[in-house]
């Protein structure tokens, strides 16, 4: 039987778990709603450039980055919106970047595929498949050489795991015991190619042993499980024990890019994964555990949707870059 103190403690723990899951749900809802809004703005033809979206993969970004400090770093991919919002890039500056405005997080010069903001540790994204991985190793080396205890979370896809840069990055991080957490968002496709056609093993994380680092396979649509794995790997990295590979099994609810209807995907497979939507998994848990009522969740969602509308207004009312700005913030030798 539990003592009175233990009961009080477990109630406090429950309150903490409730607050964390509600916050994670709000963040995931923000990621989903932001990308849905962007998609419709693209259909309206009011935005230049192109988009690669990550609806369905929100638990990966939020679970991995939830406990990172501002001073920690994150590298992303051609699908960076969720990662950047979860790392703390401001919603207004991301929306303005999509409208190519001078108030954008990259002053309107980066667009969707180079989103980021170094002031919050979000290294602007690189759209070259696996291109962010050697960069993450360089940032990790810098963290170590400066004797900080900062860590780097490095996102990449299943497709990226067959690039040479993947292997070189893993090996260098392992031999130098760098504070890098490698996160493979395995959504089973590299553009239209199913992973089975290009990879002869079941789990990308199984490759960890080849570099002498731990590897973990996690249900990537359950934000709490992702967060638990993140906690283990981040603690290891902070203590100077070196890198980890975390493989998150997930699925995108959208096409590879904006005009992809996913004709190459099996419809039964799609249906099974759509039933495992990360937002629904968390929402059901919140309601089952009575962390909040349906009405309270609706209030949270309404608040988020209003923030997005405000960001669109901010972006639309922001100034365009001036022609001479093309010569600013560029480096040449």
Ligand X SMILES: Cc1ncc(C[n+]2csc(CCOP(=O)(O)OP(=O)(O)O)c2C)c(N)n1
Interface residues toward ligand X, by CB under 6 A: 77-79, 127-129, 157-160, 187, 189-191, 256
Using the rule CB under 5 A, is 56 a contact of Mg ion?
Answer: no
User: In the complex, what is the shortest distance from the CB of residue 38 to ligand X, in angstroms, rounded to a whole number?
Assistant: 16
Ramachandran assignment for 120, one of left (phi > 0), alpha (psi -120 to 50 degrees), beta (any other):
alpha
Question: With respect to ligand X, which residue has the nearer C-beta, 247 or 301?
Answer: 247
At 123, list the tokens: 């290294």
Question: Which residues lie closer than 8 Å to 106 by C-beta, 6 or more apart?
Answer: 97, 114, 115, 116, 124
Segment 153 to 192, residues that bind Mg ion, using CB under 5 A: 157-159, 187, 189-190
Q: What is the rounded CA–CA span in Å between residue 161 and residue 248?
A: 13
Which residue's CB comes closest to ligand X? 157
Query: Dihedral of CA 153/156/161/165: which sign?
Result: negative
Distance of CA 13 to the CA centre of its chain: 27
Cβ-based nearer residue to ligand X, 93 or 129: 129
Nearer to ligand X, 140 or 190 (CB): 190
Nearer to Mg ion, 42 or 189 (CB): 189
Q: Are 198 and 165 in contact (CB under 8 A)?
A: no
- 132 counts as binding Mg ion under rule CB under 5 A: no
In the bound state with ligand X, the residue whose beta carbon lies nearer, of 76 and 103, is 76
CB of 213 to ligand X, least distance (A): 20
Q: Residues 6 or more apart from 100 whose CB is under 8 A from it?
A: 47, 48, 49, 108, 111, 320, 321
State the residues that interact with Mg ion by CB under 5 A.
157-159, 187, 189-190
């Amino acid at each position: 039987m539990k003592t009175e103190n233990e009961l009080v403690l477990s109630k406090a723990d429950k309150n903490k778990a409730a607050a964390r899951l509600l916050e994670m749900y709000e963040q995931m809802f923000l990621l989903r709603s932001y990308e849905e809004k962007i998609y419709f703005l693209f259909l309206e033809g009011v935005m230049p450039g192109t988009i690669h979206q990550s609806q369905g993969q929100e638990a990966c970004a939020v679970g991995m980055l939830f406990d990172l400090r501002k001073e920690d770093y994150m590298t992303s991919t051609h699908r960076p919106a969720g990662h950047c919002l979860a790392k703390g890039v401001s919603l207004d500056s991301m929306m303005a970047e999509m409208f190519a405005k001078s108030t954008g997080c990259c002053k309107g010069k980066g667009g969707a595929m180079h989103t980021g903001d170094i002031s919050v540790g979000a290294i602007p994204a690189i759209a070259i498949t696996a291109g962010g991985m050697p960069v993450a190793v360089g940032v990790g080396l810098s963290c170590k050489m400066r004797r900080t205890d900062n860590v780097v979370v490095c996102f990449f896809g299943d497709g990226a795991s067959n690039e040479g840069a993947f292997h070189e990055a893993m090996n260098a991080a392992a031999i130098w015991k760098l504070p890098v957490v490698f996160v493979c968002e395995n959504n089973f496709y590299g553009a239209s190619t199913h992973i089975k056609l290009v990879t002869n093993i079941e789990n990308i994380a199984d490759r960890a042993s080849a570099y002498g680092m731990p590897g973990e396979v996690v249900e990537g649509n359950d934000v709490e499980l992702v967060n638990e794995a993140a906690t283990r790997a981040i603690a290891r990295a902070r203590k100077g024990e070196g890198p980890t590979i975390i493989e998150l099994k997930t699925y995108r609810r959208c096409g590879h890019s904006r005009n992809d209807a996913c004709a190459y995907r099996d419809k039964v497979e799609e249906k099974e994964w759509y039933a495992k939507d990360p937002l629904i998994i968390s929402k059901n848990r919140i309601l089952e555990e009575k962390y909040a009522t349906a009405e309270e969740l609706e209030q949270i969602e309404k608040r988020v949707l209003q923030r997005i509308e405000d960001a669109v207004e901010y972006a639309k009312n922001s100034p365009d870059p001036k022609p001479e700005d093309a010569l600013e913030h560029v480096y040449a030798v």
